[in-house]
Amino acid sequence: MIKGVLIDYGGTIDTNGLHWGSVLWSAYQKFESGITKEEFSKAYSFGERSLAINPIIKPSHSFYDTLELKVEQQFQFLKDNGSELPAELIKAIAKECNDFALETVRKAKPVLQELASQYPVILVSNFYGNINRVLEVFEIESFFQEIVESAVVKVRKPDPKIYQLGVEALGLKPEECVVIGDSFTKDIVPAKTIGCKAIWINVAGWEDTTVNHEGPYQADAEIKDFSQVPGIINQLNK
């Protein structure tokens, strides 16, 4: 029986399975940046590494602040590589993506509320040290019994240890826990590695990778919408 729930944040709760690379790329296209997808992909990867390594994002930063800083890093990379964009696009892209996240989180709230009413719920996220502020602004912090954030615990997905910390916070056995996430390699594989059940929100990845969806790392269920989670957990418990 499933007695506890571990949920990924980015790409799961805030985009309903869409990779943030896809969300940001759509905004670049909407505002006619003129950047190719290959150029954006390189800028996106650079920005993610930069924010993970450097203390650019502070605990007080909201999700909009995070997006603005993220896009600033991308624009700097593009400028350094010969593709300078108008500075005013930074705020426009950040707002577009933040509005998308706000609406997606609004739809996710009733699902989180239902889960939290039935199970202890832990958030497990690769984030920048400000996830508590993000959850507070989006008004969903009360649904989580505890937060396991990579910048705080100094362990990042796909290292299974970060999910092990979540299981330990629940005080349950791994087989009594289910992990919900959008990334096969960063959520499903580490979840199955430590013995948890796993629900994969398989909507849209970003990089083309070949992964083995079968064998020991096969998800216990695949879904296309976060709203399906409570029903799937009920099915797994039958």
Q: State pLDDT tens for residues 84-118.
A: 999 999 999 999 999 999 999 999 999 999 999 99
Decide: helix, strand or coil at residue 41: helix
The answer to whether 3 touches 177, Cβ cutoff 8 Å, is: yes
pLDDT averaged over every residue in the chain: 94
Q: How much is the average pLDDT of 157-165?
A: 97
pLDDT at 208: 45
Over 80: is that where the pLDDT of 28 sits?
Answer: yes
**Nearest CA to 67 among 37, 39, 26, 95?**
95
Over 70: is that where the pLDDT of 209 sits?
Answer: no
pLDDT at 14: 97
DSSP state of 119: S
Q: How much is the average pLDDT of 41-67?
A: 94
Rounded-to-5 percentages of helix, strand, coil across the chain: 55, 10, 35
11-15, 76-80, 201-205, 211-215: segment of lowest average pLDDT: 211-215
Q: Please give the Cα distance from 203 to 76 (Å, whole number).
A: 30
Over 60: is that where the pLDDT of 210 sits?
Answer: no
What does the block give as tokens for 175?
A: 């087989």
pTM comes to 0.92
